Structure 1
Amino acid sequence: MLNEIANTIIKSRHAFSLSEQDCRNLSFLKVGGNPWAEGRINYLVFTEGSTAPVLFVKMIRERAKGVALQREYELLQQLASHNAVAPFLPLPAVLLSPGDHPILVQGVCRGRRLISSLSKSPFLFHQQSRIARNFHQASRFLKVLNGNIQQTLRIEDFHRLFTEPLLSFERTLMGKNDPVMEAYLEEVGKQVVTCLFLTPLHGDYSATNIFLEPQGDLKIIDWETGSSNGLPLCDLFYFMTKYIHNLKILPKNRWRRVETAYFGKTRISGLIEETVLDYCTSMKIPVHAARLILPFHFLLKAKTKFSMRSREMTAPWYSLFRSALKHERDLCF
């Protein structure tokens, strides 16, 4: 398989600005991904004598699941057509098919993942400024993405993209229709169509998928769970939630830590408030829309985890959704 991949890259070398000399002896280093027999496999590609990788290759072992790479490639092409967004993407991105097996070949990121700056200290005071910087970095890209790519959100779009899939999820999860959920989604739809819009969604926007390059530029990777029809604020809330998950501060239970951050008056609650208010001001979005989207975001994540057949991970996200509705007045922003 590696020989097939190498030969395919060589045939398409001009797309990656590689010379014939560069391609004389390509080597591959497996990084991340899953075991060879299943799931995704990632490779860094090196030219002869080079200590720095020149390309990043993603493939999915099961051919039938290669459609995920096709979707990611199409989304990257769509985003790359916007000049303001393109510098944040791992370009060039080319979809190849060695042996009829789709692979996605991308430009390699040369910086460090934002997750590497995460402190292992249990004391929040000493890492407060670092958390603020990382929240700012995450928000910086989203303001560019959401500010440059917008579509009108109509109530019929909201029902098709969100209401119907979420009600189907609720019926499957609970085994029955829930009139309370129907009323909730109806009310959210009526309100968000007056002040929000459709915009691309990364879907897994975490500190693991953000690279900070030496010159200070950001590169956002792993768009395979992305969509061209998302809602603003969802990626931002997911970033902050996952970031809080990964902290080592009290409380030890990470889900309780998230609740305390969003619905308490801690230092990190203040950082969330600053980040959300700054984003809303920049995007000209009313803060009440952010208060609507937070629980809605938790519900969307519960549905996503459920669709991945992970009932164990569905429960805490669904619990956060219910808790957010119950403690709406205690939100930190």
Structure 2
Amino acid sequence: MNFIDSVLRGHYDEWNLADFGLGAEWTTVLVTPQFTTSRHVVGLVFPAGASQPSLVVKVPRCPGDNEGVQREADMLRQLSTLSGGRVEGIPHIVATLDVGQHTVLVETALTGAPLDPYRVAGDLAGAVALGVDFVAALPCTLPGPDNPGWYERTVERPLEALALLLPGDAEVSALVHRTHELLTPLRSSTLPAVFEHADLSHPNLLVQSDGRLQVMDWERSSLFGLPGHDLVFYLQYLSESSDMAFSRVAQLAAFDKAFGPGGWALATLREHLVLRNVDPELLPQVVIATWARSAATLAYRLAAEDVPAPGSAQLRAAVLDDRDFWLWRHVVAAGLN
């Protein structure tokens, strides 16, 4: 019996696990992502004889590294409350439990066909529609007048945290400085805060047989996100997928196709900004801010104990090879003007 099975058996009645199809026996499949930025072991729990899991259990890889699972649980609970349960296609929290130095998160499993690059390439327009509808359904958490100091919280602090990973690095310092220059029109604007997932791409996306989008992995989500961020991130994933752009150079070309002059994603993003009461003339700055903020999440994603130390050559290589960092550098160089 593995650790996850032991926890489930010890709380079987307390958590009403029979309601999720679990009987006396079940099968747990452990998934251990090998990415440098992956911080969790995931258990997929299958009822006896079932072809689909009914529960997902997340446990930090490193003892004490509980921020991610705790954040995911908190964000999903708040999303359900803020939306009145109207946002479909998200996991529901069954339980959280501290076991020694580990916080264990148990949530309902999402099922469906992966919205992987091959499915996107087969129906790009359909994939766009799925994401547009999902992002539009995420609630506004603060109207513009009630969101002072948003730039410091949403842009400045994340970039400061990223810079601390590579103190004194000339390239990162220059990127941060130039980003703030380019974002001057955005910084002086009054913007609402929105609930943000921040990682809308494969393998976090599934499509049910009825066509509804299912979105998992909410550990990077935020109550105070930037309007348009999720859609920019998602449309970039679609552009890369439609072109099967797996190299960094190809991903930059996919960005230019979607967001460069005459890009196919621009009208969709502009409509979304209008929906969120954001001046569509700020579209270029929203795109720049998206990739700056997404690259800045490396400060969180590389925070586990078993990653290279801040300032080390290994950490610099991990940062500079990151796809979001490449896109940030690309949009800053282009200026999108």
TM-score range, shorter chain: 0.7 to 0.9
- Residue in structure 1 matched with residue 112 of structure 2 by the alignment: 111
- Residue in structure 1 matched with residue 252 of structure 2 by the alignment: 256
1:185 correspondence with 2:180: yes
Instruction: For residue 10 of structure 1, give the secondary structure of its aligned residue in structure 2.
Output: coil
Deviations 1:122-154 (A, max 9, x none): xxxxx5xx11211221121111104x4335464
What is the rounded CA distance, in whole Å, between the counterparts of 1:317 and 1:86 in structure 2? Answer: 27
TM-score where L is the length of structure 1 = 0.79
Instruction: For residue 45 of structure 2, give the secondary structure of its aligned residue in structure 1.
Output: strand
1:298 correspondence with 2:305: no
- Residue in structure 1 matched with residue 316 of structure 2 by the alignment: 311
Deviates more, 1:225-234 or 1:280-289: 280-289
- Residue in structure 1 matched with residue 312 of structure 2 by the alignment: none
What is the identity, as a one-letter code, of the residue corresponding to 1:48? A
Over aligned residues, Cα RMSD in angstroms? 3.4
Is there any run of 5+ residues in structure 2 with no aligned partner, and where?
Answer: 303-307, 309-314
1:213-252, aligned counterparts within 5 Å? 213-248=208-243
1:218–1:247: structure 2 CA closer, same or farther, 3 Å change rule?
A: closer
Aligned partner of 1:14 among 13, 16, 19: 16
**How many residues of Structure 1 are paired with residues of Structure 2 in the alignment?**
314
What is the rounded CA distance, in whole Å, between the counterparts of 1:299 and 1:91 in structure 2? Answer: 30
1:19-58, aligned counterparts within 5 Å? 22-31=22-31, 33-34=33-34, 39-58=39-58
TM-score where L is the length of structure 2 = 0.78
What is the rounded CA distance, in whole Å, between the counterparts of 1:325 and 1:228 in structure 2? Answer: 26
1:115-154, aligned counterparts within 5 Å? 115=116, 117-118=118-119, 127=122, 130-146=123-139, 148-152=140-144, 154=147
Maintained 8 Å contact 1:92/1:106? yes
Percent identity, please: 18
What is the rounded CA distance, in whole Å, between the counterparts of 2:41 and 2:232 in structure 1? Answer: 28
Maintained 8 Å contact 2:161/2:296? no
What is the rounded CA distance, in whole Å, between the counterparts of 1:278 and 1:42 in structure 2? Answer: 37
What is the rounded CA distance, in whole Å, between the counterparts of 1:161 and 1:236 in structure 2? Answer: 16
What is the rounded CA distance, in whole Å, between the counterparts of 2:111 and 2:175 in structure 1? Answer: 49
Q: Could you say which structure has the higher helix fraction?
A: 1
Higher relative contact order (CA 8 A, sep 6+): 2
Shift of residue 181, structure 1, vs aligned partner: 4.9
